[in-house]
Amino acid sequence: MSVGITGIGSYVPENVMTNDDLAKIVDTNHEWIVSRTGIEERRIADKDQPTSDLATKASLKALEDASIAPEDLDLIIVATATPDYIFPSTAAMVQKDIGATKAAAFDISVGCSGFVYGLVTGANFISSGMYKKVLVIGAETLSKIVDWEDRNTCVLFGDGAGACILEPCDESFGILSSELGSDGVKGDVLIVPGGGSKNPATEETVKNKLHAIRMDGKEVFKFAVRVMEQSSMRVLESAGLSKEELDFMISHQANSRIIDAAMKKLGLSKDKTHVNLTKYGNTSAASVPVALDEAVKSELIKKGDNLLLIAFGAGLSWASVVLKWNKEVRNV
């Protein structure tokens, strides 16, 4: 059974934090951040605004775009590294908030790869015949787990959410191939050490900032460039496509240099991608769906286009999907 995206939506908080704003709280400056990342500003959620709130707002837009009611949903998957609670799931909170009374709901935690992992998971539920309408969300409030005194990480991240509706679609359209991967040997390269069963919350873990993001940027960069090239080629081959037949790519929005390096290795021109990290920073699991929503609404992607979605993240993990875009443009 062919599975495609029939609705898409996104949401970012209104509060903008510029590089100049950051320079007031940490030793950095606009030029330093832009030259190393490409980021100029990011969105920050309110202190009392949980991840589920961003996810709900994006989901309602996706439901409207697909012209389906919340009670028609069979399953809700939320990809996030910043859940509202350890349990219940953030997906359950979204289910409550949108009134999806008939849907199953669960979260997945694969960091920045999460949304693409969610797409593959949701599509398999549909292709198996178990479900017909699946809501997949990537949502993060990373500002709540950033060490604002660590200039190597606090400059990178922002908050946001993106969502899509998966449904059966016409044969030859929709998802053509996919790949999921992980290298747990390098799991400590990108990590929040505290808060789980290994380092449960104590006065000491809070004092030592174990509940904030820690990252070896150089290792992540090398990993990202390598896996984006290799996974892209494998998933295109699995779909029966050459890189010349690829019409558009949406990559995880982590760093402009990583995206540029991947595009160069794939032989793709800059007009074959959409980059929004300049204004949002790295929004982890939200980055791919937010960028996809913007590209679709800007009519950069049209029905029949061969599209690559690719991401890398904690784990270290990666995920890629090739699909033939099945949806007509409909601005909402």
260-284 per-position pLDDT tens digit? 988 888 889 999 999 999 999 999 9
What pLDDT was estimated at residue 329? Answer: 66
pLDDT in tens, 189-229: 999 999 999 999 999 999 999 999 999 999 999 999 999 99
205 burial via Cβ count (<10 Å: 0-12, 13-18, 19+): middle
Q: Which residues are catalytic?
A: 112, 252, 282
Strand order across the beta sheet in which 306-313 lies: 174-182, 317-324, 306-313, 248-251
- How far apart CA 239 and CA 243 sit, in angstroms, is 11
- Per cent of the chain over pLDDT 70 is 99
Q: Which of 270, 191, 264, 262 shows the shortest CA–CA distance to 223? A: 262
Mean pLDDT of the chain, nearest integer? 96
Pair 249, 263: CB distance under 8 Å: yes
Q: What is the pLDDT of residue 328?
A: 79
Domains in the chain: ranges and CATH? 3-174 (3.40.47.10), 175-324 (3.40.47.10)
User: What are the pLDDT digits (tens) for 294-323?
Assistant: 999 999 999 999 999 999 999 999 999 999
**CA–CA distance from 285 to each of 119, 161, 216, 269 (Å)?**
12, 8, 19, 25
Comparing 208 with 331, the larger pLDDT belongs to 208
Q: How confident is the model at residue 171 (pLDDT cuts 50, 70, 90)?
A: very high
Distances (CA, A) of 308 to 66, 245, 321: 21, 11, 6
332: pLDDT confidence band, cut at 50, 70 and 90?
Answer: very low
- pLDDT (0 to 100) of residue 330: 59
